[in-house]
Amino acid sequence: PYILTLSNAPEMAGNYITQKEKALNLGIYATDLCYASTYMMNQATMQFLEASRTLSDELGITTSFNMNYAERIEKNLNNRDSLISIVAGSFYDTWDYLVENSQDILARLVVSGSWIEGIYITANIAGTSRDNTEFLKILANQKSSLNTIVSLLGQVKDKEEAADIFKGLNDIKGVYEQVGETMTAGQLEELTVRIEALRESII
């Protein structure tokens, strides 16, 4: 079942001050939005949409795609596949905008926030599911995407905005070095502890 409390509270969006905080939490809300829309939780989807829009506006992200983003979400609330496609499109559009406007560090932080939230939600679901076999495989399969993100952050790890996130994800990479095609119960427990601590430092 959908677990509302796993996501970051939408009302927190107005509490983030620095560009770093806003970028990381924009990524987190993008994943929360996907999580809610996957379960067709329309009210939660709209709340995460508003939270995302708040942070996008404050970061000055204005693209032709995002201008009618909310309208497209509202029109497709009952179409799960379309919703996820729209969110993914906005995510890539945001990346392109930030990179093209010399905000590539922020782009890396948005991606990092999204990955962290996805792992956090999945690990918690895996920890409470009666049969978590598929979840453990899904988590194991995130090794390559983690390596990509760590590599991206490694290019800017000396920048203040990226240093602690790089360290946190690099520590989690250490957990993944022992992971094969699936995760063990012990690896899941260690991953959950580390991802929760890193996420808590962001939200």
Q: Which tens digit of pLDDT belongs to each residue from 115-171? A: 999 999 999 999 999 999 999 999 999 999 999 999 999 999 999 999 999 999 999
Question: Is 169 in contact with 153 (CB distance < 8 Å)?
Answer: yes
Picking from 80, 81, 156, the residue whose alpha carbon sits closest to that of residue 112 is: 156
Q: What is the pLDDT, as a whole number, of residue 110?
A: 93
Q: How many CB atoms lie within 10 A of CB 130?
A: 4
Q: Which tens digit of pLDDT belongs to each residue from 71-119? A: 888 888 888 888 888 878 877 788 888 888 878 899 999 999 999 999 9
Q: What is the pLDDT, as a whole number, of residue 192?
A: 97
Q: Which tens digit of pLDDT belongs to each residue from 50-59? A: 999 899 889 9
